[in-house]
Structure 1
Amino acid sequence: MTHPTRRDAESDTAAASQTVRAVEAVEAVKETSFITAVIRAMENDRPDAYLSDPHAALLSTPRSRRMADEALAAGGTIGSVIVRARFGDEELRRGIAEGITQVVCLAAGSDTRAWRLGLPPATRFFEIDLPGQLEAKEALLAPVADRLACHRVSLGADLRSDTWPERLRAAGHDRAARTVWIVEGLLPYVRIEQFTRLVGHVRESSAPGSTLLVDAPHTEFYADPANARFLAFMESRGSAFRLGLDDLGGFLGRHGWQADAYTLRQLSAGACAGFPPPPARLCPPHDHHWVARARLA
């Protein structure tokens, strides 16, 4: 009979600590999703609201409101949350008008589009997020369950793994049909190699004519001293920002997509034809952020 050595015990302790930290990091990222719901609810209540999301208030729990207050007090910005949501709304409506009937929302978190956009009943709206996230959202949105006109399918999966595409296919996603893919608010929390793999999976699961809607911090976000306090705050709560890109459109182009990418300031200046320019209050100088729409030829 062998007995564990001190080294074995230390190794087991280190492994256990690493597992705990990983679980805590996942929970922190899941909580952040409901912070964005609070921000959308705040915008919806403004008389000059740029984004309409009447259901976001249902996701604004006392805990998420407290976390949002802490994030905003630390210098967090609201512009990227609101502008990317409006951008996604406009582009999703455009895709539906062009006859696309499949939508896949990755890291769906507190996204309420399936409920609030009045999508046609023939639309299949797939949502993927970490296990437990979508169930929590569904429970909070129970009062507006009758607003869900499209066919919604939810999947609990970690997008950092390579198994979610096959699970999505098994759930009814048709790779031969065009899809609108939505990836909002995820990229700050992943590494470039993870994003590269994710974009590859999306491309492999897409028919020609599919659309990818994605946002990401600009690298300048990390270099701007005005954001130092917020970045430290996010790191302290276990959901550190990691990814920044100098050229989101160029990155997508190198991975098979025809992309148009805009910073918030470019959108505010009217650079995106057909898109309502966001007000200056949503595009402060220190909110360095990309939004992009990309098409698979």
Structure 2
Amino acid sequence: MTTSGSTSDSPSAPTSESLRPVSRTALSVALVRAYESSRPDPLFDDPYAAAFATAAELPLPAAGPRSGLAKALVAHGVLRTRFYDDRLLAAGADQVVLLAAGLDTRAHRLDWPAGTRVFELDLGPVLAFKEQVLDALGAVPRARRTVLPADLLEPHWPARLVDAGFDPARPSAWLAEGLLVYLAPEEAAALLTAVAALAAPGSRLLLEQGRDVTATPHDPSLAHVTDLWRGGLGPGTRDWLDGHGWATELTTLDRLARRHARPLPGPSTAAFIEAVRRPAD
């Protein structure tokens, strides 16, 4: 575990090729953020996203997506990023946990209130790759940052998080961005159960409302992402949370698109959940 510095899991320099397939999807998300940040009217600015693509020897996006599915996923990713940025800053918690943080740079690019501590959890190789890039840029976090290599499918990560300084007795904010769709239903339920055990009353959890991934159109150019989807809790995500000690609010992608004057490329049933941990009965 390291704080506000770099992390390294091996003496050799990490590369994107050492990442698992699921971890490599973080590069696709970084490309979306790089594309949005290059627009004249971006909904957010990620000054580090392009550097991840360059380090991975991926071409930077010079134009918008072409296929219908690609356009939908980019619009979803852009609006999702802005929504989570806004809600994390509004959560009022000085403990923020980014689950499967990937190449997330919110600790560096958001204007956090003084005293905020951001915990980033993910597999060691992806965090090591991120640290190499950020260190080369001289990036300085705007919050007290703790980078914690951890496998969220293993049972020991909650104890490691507490050992790293997380206080389960105080309210916290949690982000599971684009995570549950890569998990089987039982894995998603186990992960959310572990989060609930660490989340004090008043804590907030941000994640996507699941959907039926079997209905996703096939696009060979995106198979490296969509073939990994396992669905998580699917359309029952919100109901599961409501039945396990959370009070949820749903924000549809359509609503966000109207709010930010970003027309969607087509109809969408996508939505985002903000859940507040209820006091124990």
**TM-score normalized by the length of structure 1:** 0.77
Q: Which residue does the alignment assign to 1:171?
A: 164
Q: Which residue does the alignment assign to 1:243?
A: 231
Q: Which residue does the alignment assign to 1:268?
A: 257
- Report sequence identity in percent: 33
Whether the aligned pair in 2 keeps the contact of 1:260 and 1:293 (CA below 8 Å) is yes
Between stretches 47-56 and 242-251, larger displacement belongs to: 242-251
Counterpart amino acid of residue 47 in structure 2: P
Q: Does 1:223 align with 2:215?
A: yes
Q: Which residue does the alignment assign to 1:274?
A: none
Q: Does 1:289 align with 2:270?
A: yes
| SS of structure 2 residue aligned to 1:228 | coil
Label 1:133 to 1:208 Cα distance change in 2 as closer, same or farther (>3 A).
same
Whether the aligned pair in 1 keeps the contact of 2:18 and 2:125 (CA below 8 Å) is no
Which aligned pairs between 1:186-201 and structure 2 lie closer than 5 A? 186-201=179-194
Q: Which residue does the alignment assign to 1:11?
A: none
Q: Which residue does the alignment assign to 1:101?
A: 94
| SS of structure 2 residue aligned to 1:246 | helix
Whether the aligned pair in 1 keeps the contact of 2:250 and 2:274 (CA below 8 Å) is yes
Label 1:263 to 1:90 Cα distance change in 2 as closer, same or farther (>3 A).
same
Counterpart amino acid of residue 278 in structure 1: H
Whether the aligned pair in 1 keeps the contact of 2:248 and 2:276 (CA below 8 Å) is yes
**TM-score normalized by the length of structure 2:** 0.81
Shift of residue 89 of structure 1? 0.7
Which aligned pairs between 1:12-51 and structure 2 lie closer than 5 A? 27-51=20-44
What is the CA–CA distance in structure 2 between the aligned matches of 1:280 and 1:179, rounded to whole Å? 31
Whether the aligned pair in 1 keeps the contact of 2:19 and 2:126 (CA below 8 Å) is no
Shift of residue 147 of structure 1? 2.9
| SS of structure 2 residue aligned to 1:60 | helix
Label 1:229 to 1:149 Cα distance change in 2 as closer, same or farther (>3 A).
closer
What is the CA–CA distance in structure 1 between the aligned matches of 2:140 and 2:182, rounded to whole Å? 31
Max Rg structure: 1
What is the CA–CA distance in structure 2 between the aligned matches of 1:128 and 1:29, rounded to whole Å? 14
Find the partner of 1:90 among 86, 89, 92.
Answer: 86
Q: Does 1:115 align with 2:96?
A: no
Shift of residue 107 of structure 1? 0.3
Shift of residue 187 of structure 1? 1.5
Runs of 5+ unmatched residues, structure 2? 1-16
What is the CA–CA distance in structure 1 between the aligned matches of 2:44 and 2:55, rounded to whole Å? 22
What is the CA–CA distance in structure 1 between the aligned matches of 2:54 and 2:34, rounded to whole Å? 11
Find the partner of 1:59 among 40, 52, 60.
Answer: 52
Label 1:64 to 1:88 Cα distance change in 2 as closer, same or farther (>3 A).
farther
Whether the aligned pair in 2 keeps the contact of 1:43 and 1:51 (CA below 8 Å) is yes
What is the CA–CA distance in structure 2 between the aligned matches of 1:26 and 1:141, rounded to whole Å? 17
Which has the larger helix fraction?
1
What is the CA–CA distance in structure 1 between the aligned matches of 2:183 and 2:171, rounded to whole Å? 26
Count of residue correspondences:
257
Find the partner of 2:223 among 215, 227, 233.
Answer: 233
Shift of residue 142 of structure 1? 1.9
Label 1:197 to 1:68 Cα distance change in 2 as closer, same or farther (>3 A).
farther
Q: Which residue does the alignment assign to 1:81?
A: 77
Shift of residue 125 of structure 1? 0.8
What is the CA–CA distance in structure 1 between the aligned matches of 2:88 and 2:255, rounded to whole Å? 20
Label 1:266 to 1:286 Cα distance change in 2 as closer, same or farther (>3 A).
same
Find the partner of 2:203 among 207, 210, 213.
Answer: 210
| SS of structure 2 residue aligned to 1:50 | coil
What is the CA–CA distance in structure 1 between the aligned matches of 2:262 and 2:166, rounded to whole Å? 39
Counterpart amino acid of residue 95 in structure 2: Q
Q: Does 1:182 align with 2:175?
A: yes
Whether the aligned pair in 2 keeps the contact of 1:118 and 1:147 (CA below 8 Å) is no
